[in-house]
Amino acid sequence: MSSILPAQSPLLVAEGNQWNTVNWPTFGPNTSSFRQKIGEDTLLDNTVYHKVYSSNKEFGSDWKFYGDYLRQDTLTNRVYYKDNKDDEVLLYDFNMGLNDTFAVSDYAGVFCQQTVTQIDTILLNNGEPRKRLKLANIDYPSDTHYWIEGLGSTFALIHYFVFCLEDIPLELLCFYANGELLYPPAPQSCFITSPKFHPRHRRLRYNPIRLRQPLRFNRKAFCSIVFALQSHRKRMTEGHINQENTPIDGTSLPSGAYLLSLTDEHGRQYSRWMVKI
């Protein structure tokens, strides 16, 4: 008597898988790209994870490890993320169905919900079919992105969730497995640094936070902070977050609307409107 084993989920967390991502500029004309790849496994808290390496070099040299780990449960089709100090969080659940919801949080611990609005199947470049989920931000239904089973978000592998706060400047350019380009079918480029490739204007959603007291962030990776007036984009102040809970004090700024811009050690940019009353 034979038993039927569950089909194994496509491996997103497989050593050698590589993602090339572009970081479109928020303020100026500079465009940057970075690569991420799955490295060797390691044991953390009696659980096996794989290290995630990053490089901002076009040809993938100078790989560095910044403390990011991923693991995949192939039975539940879920992918988990962990950094050096925090507990793991659920990053992807490819087993979700239509109208299911998924809670995410950004670097400041602000939660939002995204819901599955469409499910279909696409073919990778090698002909392999993959499940694709379209997700929409519940608060802003027009803000959508895709998850592709075994590949991840069409925004970025790990940091796709900042789209809860803004029209995200990150975009997946190319995905490789064993050195083979599997997605998309005919990319214009897999590593972009030239302004001529800029996409259409990206609208920053005006849903500001109230600037009444110094802001504190629970990570030290963000190294550049710029307040900019909404009308003139004038740089007001900047600083560095070198340790956890470093206060960012903009309470002395004149009343008005400001854009807080943060750039992490990988060169990724994040922005959030703020209002000083």
**pLDDT of the chain, 277 residues: tens digit per residue:** 334 434 567 899 999 999 999 987 765 567 889 999 999 999 998 999 999 999 988 887 789 998 899 999 999 999 999 987 778 889 999 999 999 999 875 444 545 789 999 999 999 999 999 999 999 988 778 888 899 999 999 999 987 766 665 556 789 999 999 999 999 999 989 998 876 555 544 444 444 445 555 555 554 444 445 555 544 445 566 666 666 556 666 666 666 666 666 666 656 566 666 666 5
Note the pLDDT of residue 113. 83
Closest CA to 139 of 111, 119, 171, 109: 111
- CA torsion sign for 36, 80, 68, 25 is positive
Q: Which residues contact 126 (CB under 8 A, 6 or more apart)?
A: 180, 182
* pTM across the whole model: 0.73
- Length of the chain as a residue count: 277
Note the pLDDT of residue 274. 65
Note the pLDDT of residue 241. 62
Give 21: exposed, middle or buried? Use CB within 10 Å, 0-12, 13-18, 19+: buried
Closest CA to 158 of 44, 61, 51: 51
Note the pLDDT of residue 131. 97
Give 99: exposed, middle or buried? Use CB within 10 Å, 0-12, 13-18, 19+: exposed
CATH 2.60.40 occupies which residues in the chain?
A: 209-276
Query: What is the topology classification, in CATH, of domain 209-276?
Result: Immunoglobulin-like (2.60.40)
Note the pLDDT of residue 236. 60
Note the pLDDT of residue 193. 85
Pairwise CA distance, residues 167 & 165, whole Å:
7
What are the φ and ψ backbone dihedral angles of 168, each rounded to 5 degrees?
A: -60, 135
